[in-house]
Homo-oligomer: A and B are copies of this chain.
Amino acid sequence: MYDLISVDDHIIEPPDVWIDRLPRKYQEAGPHVVEADGHEFWEYEGIRGETMGLNAVAGKPIEDWNMEPARYSDMIPGCYDPTARARDLAADNIVGSLCFPTLPRFGGTLFLAFKDKVLADLCVKAYNDWMFDGWCAAAPDLFIPMVICQLWDPELAAAEIRRCAGRGARALAFVENTVPLGLPSFYTDHWDPLWRACEETQTVVNLHIGTSGQMVWPTPEESGFHIPIMLAQVNAATAMVNLLQSPVPRKFPEIQIALSEGGIGWIPSQLERCDRMWERHQGWAGDDMGPERPSEIFRRNFYGAFVDDEVGIELRHRIGVERIMWECDYPHVEAPWPNSQVVLDKLMTDVPRDEAELLTNGNARRLYRWPKR
């Protein structure tokens, strides 16, 4: 049995996250749950949002999974109740869990779209305070605090990252690419205050697939959503190469970036290609590519994460056994819960115990400085 640290789980926020924390005058405009047509929906700034059933399938038989909005009562309590979650995770001997937001989206981009940026700022801080007081407090040795930031203002974001680091935050849920969101790219110095705050506070930057708002969907009109799901690792590869070749890892050499839900099997081949192109295109692109081999930058600044990647585990030494972490993805479709140990026993059959310990918990312990003491 492994002590497991999952570096990618998901919270379905309970209805009181913002209601309990926003000043009275913002409670109507801030996110709150309404009931209509037998469904429960989030509403904010007069907009009715959606809840995707696929976000909360844990504990349901596979044939009941669907894309319909759900009610809280359709989900198992572990989706939204941290005490129930802690019990569920304990059943798989998961001793550390890093949880992404759902309503704010995996990179916190919901509040970027808010018209009222004073409200948006309050919503970011309310979520972060709830992360500490509402979620992590229920099982402080289990839940690794991850926060979101004010994506529309890197100075504000940097201050919030520092405030949260002071409260014990270990991770930032950031976005895989800012350009599709209409924000300056990683090739500008716009984000330097944010990178600097993360580097100085050892806050790990987590890039979940899809947080650019773009999935890879080559035939969006006619093919099903299973295509972007199958192609999700292409999001991760694109995000990795884009950021790895940007000035960020050169300017902030201590920054640590975790690629969430992208899998790891593709990493060796992507790095091999990057290295080969780095060698062969020096003549015209050497200045852009920088003095370091892409694979060296990866091994200094990046982490990948797996749920059940046979290929990635076979290739672990090409990735770096120190650069791989496990994720459960509770309560989403990919989660092996409640059979994490069974799945991992099979996956680790040919992996020496010391390496398996690194992959299942050791690397995450080191990176997220967990447990706290």
226-252 of chain A: CB within 8 A of chain B = 226-227, 229-234, 237-239, 241-242, 245-246
Q: Which of A33-41, A110-118, A153-161, A185-193 makes up part of the contact surface?
A: A185-193
Contact (Cβ within 8 A) A224 B288: yes
User: Main SS of the interface on chain A?
Assistant: helix
Chain B positions within 8 Å of A350 at CB level: none
Determine the distance from Cα of A171 to Cα of B242 in the docked complex, in whole angstroms: 35
Contact (Cβ within 8 A) B310 A280: no
Q: Which of A58-66, A80-88, A124-132, A196-204 makes up part of the contact surface?
A: A58-66
Determine the distance from Cα of A187 to Cα of B219 in the docked complex, in whole angstroms: 8
Contact (Cβ within 8 A) B265 A333: no
Determine the distance from Cα of A216 to Cα of B177 in the docked complex, in whole angstroms: 13
- Size bracket, chain A contacts: 35 or more
Determine the distance from Cα of A223 to Cα of B185 in the docked complex, in whole angstroms: 9
Contact (Cβ within 8 A) A311 B272: yes
- A372 contacts chain B at the CB level, 8 A cutoff: no
Copies of the chain in the assembly? 2
- A139 contacts chain B at the CB level, 8 A cutoff: no
CB < 8 Å: which of B186, B212, B230 contacts A277? B230
State the Cβ distance, A195 to closest chain B Cβ, in Å: 16
For A177, A226, A246, the residue with the greatest tally of chain B CB atoms inside 10 Å of its CB is A226
Residue of B nearest to A61 (CB): B283
Chain B positions within 8 Å of A315 at CB level: 311, 314-315
Known: A66-B284, A177-B219. 5 other contacts (CB 8 A): A62-B282, A65-B284, A224-B289, A226-B285, A269-B311
Residues of A within 8 A of B (CB): 54, 62-67, 177, 179, 185-188, 212, 216, 218-219, 221-227, 229-234, 237-239, 241-242, 245-246, 263-266, 268-270, 272-274, 276-278, 280-285, 288-289, 294, 308-312, 314-315, 318, 333-334
